Amino acid sequence: MFKTVRSKILAIAILILAFLLVASACHVYFARMNTKQLMVQNYKFSITASSFVQEVKNRVITSEDNLKSLALIGSLYYKTDRSNELTNKAITKIFENYPQTLGGGIWFKPYIIDKSKKYTCFYAFRDKNNKIIIDKNFESKQYDYPNQAWYKQIISEVTPENNIVWSKPYYENQGSYTTMITVGSGVFVDGELVGIATVDWELDSVIEEVSKMKPLEKTFSMYKNGNEIKNSFALFGNIIDDYIIATNDPYIDNKAVIGNSLKEIPWYTDADNLYATTYITYHNKKYIPFVNRLNNGMVLIICLPKSEMFKKVNNFYFLLIMVMIGIALLIPALLYYSLNHYIINPIGKLTEIAQKIGKGEDIQIKIEKPEEFAQLASTFDKMTKDLKSITQERAKINSELSIAKSIQFSSLPNIFPPFPDRTEFGIYASMEPAKEVGGDFYDFFFIDKTRFMFLIADVSGKGVPAALFMMTVKTLINNLSQMNYSPKQLIEIVNNKICQTNKHGFFVTVLIGIVDINTGETSIINCGHNPPLIKRQNSDYEYLQLESNIALGVFEDSKFEIYETKLNPGDIIYTYTDGVTEAINKDNVVYGETRLCKCLNNISDTEPLEITQKIRTSIKEYTDSNMQSDDITMLVFKYNGILNNVKTYKQIAQQGNYKQFYNWLHAVCEEWSINEELSYKLDMCAEEIFANITFYAYPENAGMLEATLTKNDDNISIEFKDDGIAYNPLEKPDPDVNLPPEERPLGGLGIYMIKNMADDIFYKRVKKQNILTLVFKI
């Protein structure tokens, strides 16, 4: 049922909502209950307190009844035979009937019973064993009861109409040493006051009872039944006469205030006025006062601490709050767990797996719950598989493309120099495809012993199809060119063959050059291609003005114009595809033919390799970081003519080997009919340089030396090359040949002699080679 994340979240949301509702309900309920309960309690406790109050009232009534009985006995004693024995019995009887009475008696006015006897009184009290004892000790001069305050008060206040007088409480320091209150009544005989009857009430017990007050059973459910109410206190006072009868206020010296004004009780006013509807705050504690007025002007106020009253309610409420807090804490934990378990963890797992898959690991994702993630995982899994198969496909295509690229590249002649023993010409070509495989190509080969053919071409379109077409064309031209056709025949046959096999509408622009390397006679065929640039001796590069034919593969049986020219030694032909002139810079401006021409003319090198590289660099600088949009292909052909005036010799430069070198030198001199004087000079110089290379260029291990002897019209030059450490012998200072022989150094003569003999001498360091050239005029 709760399989999906959505349902889980919903469940949690409902749970939270339910919790909030329950919490609010509880709070409202308890808030209301608190008030209500308080009112109920007040009511009920007023009953409880009333029962206690009733007891007090009863005591009062009992005391008064008791008192009346005593007064009656007193009057009887006075009127009758004045039997002490009977009176004692009567008093004892009364005490037995009123078990709560602690003490009391009859006190006659002085000398009224017996003119010779001042004191006549009957006082009874209960001892500790509840035995009633008649104490005659009060008839003593020491006590002198007529002078006691209670006696004076009562006797002065009683009248036949108002025959009951309550004394102010007083501290009894004769008998029981407690706080007492005495209620008195006059003993009237025929309207004459002859004495008083008194009943004592020990107040300490009243207060003590308040402290021990227990709620009645079933007073109210929230209160603990049967337990004492702790920390309660009470005030018992007389409102009419405004004095304190008793109190156990814990913050007041109780004995000291008894009998004083009620105003001395700090909380009294509040309590009396409020009549227990709310709390009083006394010494930072809340109390609920219960006020009860007695009918004779007395008041009993009982203060109960609120916390005690609500202990049970509060306990329950506290428990409930704890439970709520517990639940409140549990919910985030549950949320956290759910989020982690159902969302974060699956995401983490997916992430981890995604990373592993990214690294190429082969992993299957398995998540069963929750449903969303199970679905996501299976989708992910499928995606991974799809991706893998696509990637493999791609990799396959890529590898096939790179194979195609390497096939294409290897099909182009790419070893330079291609004919190292041929001095008649130099050639260099390069192709940089825009994509993996390009549509440009070049080729060159001998079509017979003396005729050399080179071509550069651009197939329409790019990519693999163009490359395949290019391969076809290239093979076709290569094969057909070996058939001994004339250039015109060759190109027409090639065109027809291409047209016949070309179903996809490809065409190819080609520039073909066929050079007789012995004579320099050249045929150039341009089939829709960029015209070549030619540099003749002592002039600049310029476009060859030749007829452009239609591209190959367009129309069958097309006719082609052939351009015939003769190359002289030193002439250079520069051919290219449109990738060169149409290379664009960041402002979308093409490299262009003018720029190409200018750049070519700034190149002083005459070797095809250098020319190609410099143009390539120039284009790169021009396009900067712009993507190459087309294949860039160049082919440079340099015609040298037949060279028989250059001789090259290579040998390891080592002491003892010079003999071989001069044998070669002498042979060349003889072949070229060089006179003896010059040949002697060449010999001397060669030997000197040979020695220099041996000792200075290769001081440790013997290295290779290459000498090139060139015969020109008016001079002979000899060039020495070595790969040794840089050493320019011309920097050596000349020796002084006029010094006396004793002072002359042994060395330094060789270079001096060379300088003397050669007409010109150069040193350069190129590509880690020392090149020293000596020129001798003929």
Partner 1 sequence: MDVTLKRIGLDGVYVKAEGRLDLDNAVEYGTKIKDFIEDSDETVVNLTLDFSDITFISSFGLKVILELYKQLNAQNGTIKLKNVSEQLMSSFKMVGFNKFLLFE
For partner 1, what does the binding mask look like between residues 716 and 735, x meaning CB under 8 A? -------------------x
Q: Which residue among 143, 416, 446, 752 contacts partner 1 (CB under 8 A)?
A: 752
Region near partner 1 per CB under 8 A, out of 163-171, 494-502, 650-658, 762-770: 650-658
- Whether residue 622 contacts residue 583, with contact meaning beta carbons closer than 8 Å, is answered with yes
Which pair of structure tokens corresponds to residue 223? 């209160």
Query: Which residue type occupies 482?
Result: Q
Asked if 369 touches partner 1 (CB under 8 A), the answer is: no
Q: Which residue among 655, 663, 675, 712 contacts partner 1 (CB under 8 A)?
A: 655
CB nearer to partner 1: pick between 555 and 680? 680
Nearest to 254 by CA among 294, 206, 213: 206
CB nearer to partner 1: pick between 226 and 740? 740
Backbone angles phi, psi at 157, to 5 degrees: -95, -25
- Whether residue 510 contacts residue 456, with contact meaning beta carbons closer than 8 Å, is answered with yes
Burial state string for 101-133 with b = 16 or more CB within 10 A and e = fewer than 16: bbbbbbbbbbebbeeeebbbbbbbbeeeeeebe
CB nearer to partner 1: pick between 233 and 776? 776
CB nearer to partner 1: pick between 259 and 729? 729
In whole angstroms, how close is the CB of 725 to partner 1 at the nearest point?
20
Region near partner 1 per CB under 8 A, out of 385-393, 593-601, 738-746, 761-769: 738-746
Q: How far is CA 76 from CA 71, 72, 91, in A?
A: 9, 6, 12
Q: Which residue among 568, 756, 777, 778 contacts partner 1 (CB under 8 A)?
A: 756
Burial of residue 751 (CB within 10 Å: 0-12, 13-18, 19+) is: buried
In whole angstroms, how close is the CB of 766 to partner 1 at the nearest point?
26
In whole angstroms, how close is the CB of 774 to partner 1 at the nearest point?
15
In whole angstroms, how close is the CB of 659 to partner 1 at the nearest point?
6
Which pair of structure tokens corresponds to residue 46? 């007023």
Q: Which helix (H) or strand (E) holds 777?
A: strand 769-777
CB nearer to partner 1: pick between 191 and 747? 747
Q: Which residue among 594, 656, 731, 733 contacts partner 1 (CB under 8 A)?
A: 656
Asked if 742 touches partner 1 (CB under 8 A), the answer is: yes
- Whether residue 724 contacts residue 703, with contact meaning beta carbons closer than 8 Å, is answered with yes
Three-state DSSP class for 281?
Answer: strand
CA triple 204-207-212, angle to 5 deg: 120
CB nearer to partner 1: pick between 725 and 739? 739
Tell me which residues in 658-687 interact with partner 1 (CB under 8 A). 658-659, 676-677, 680, 683-684, 687
Nearest to 441 by CA among 452, 451, 430: 430
Which pair of structure tokens corresponds to residue 713? 């019209």
CB nearer to partner 1: pick between 432 and 683? 683
Tell me which residues in 586-605 interact with partner 1 (CB under 8 A). none
CB nearer to partner 1: pick between 505 and 740? 740
| Residues in binding contact with partner 1, number by CB under 8 A | 29
In whole angstroms, how close is the CB of 753 to partner 1 at the nearest point?
6
Which pair of structure tokens corresponds to residue 181? 């209150």
In whole angstroms, how close is the CB of 716 to partner 1 at the nearest point?
18
Asked if 753 touches partner 1 (CB under 8 A), the answer is: yes
CB nearer to partner 1: pick between 70 and 718? 718
Backbone CA torsion sign across 475, 479, 480, 481 = positive
The residue whose two tokens read 């509880």 is 26
In whole angstroms, how close is the CB of 680 to partner 1 at the nearest point?
5
Tell me which residues in 682-711 interact with partner 1 (CB under 8 A). 683-684, 687-688, 690-691, 694
Which pair of structure tokens corresponds to residue 574? 């520069």
On the question of a cis peptide bond just before residue 417, with omega within 30 degrees of 0, the verdict is yes
Nearest to 165 by CA among 203, 121, 196: 196
CB nearer to partner 1: pick between 435 and 755? 755
In whole angstroms, how close is the CB of 677 to partner 1 at the nearest point?
7
Query: CA–CA separation, 737 vs 183, rounded Å?
Result: 167
Nearest to 238 by CA among 320, 319, 299: 299
CB nearer to partner 1: pick between 360 and 747? 747
- Whether residue 535 contacts residue 574, with contact meaning beta carbons closer than 8 Å, is answered with yes
Which pair of structure tokens corresponds to residue 697? 């260029």
In whole angstroms, how close is the CB of 739 to partner 1 at the nearest point?
8
- Whether residue 457 contacts residue 473, with contact meaning beta carbons closer than 8 Å, is answered with yes
In whole angstroms, how close is the CB of 733 to partner 1 at the nearest point?
15
Query: Would you tell me which residues interact with partner 1 (CB under 8 A)?
Result: 655-656, 658-659, 676-677, 680, 683-684, 687-688, 690-691, 694, 735, 737-738, 740-742, 744, 746-747, 749-750, 752-753, 756-757
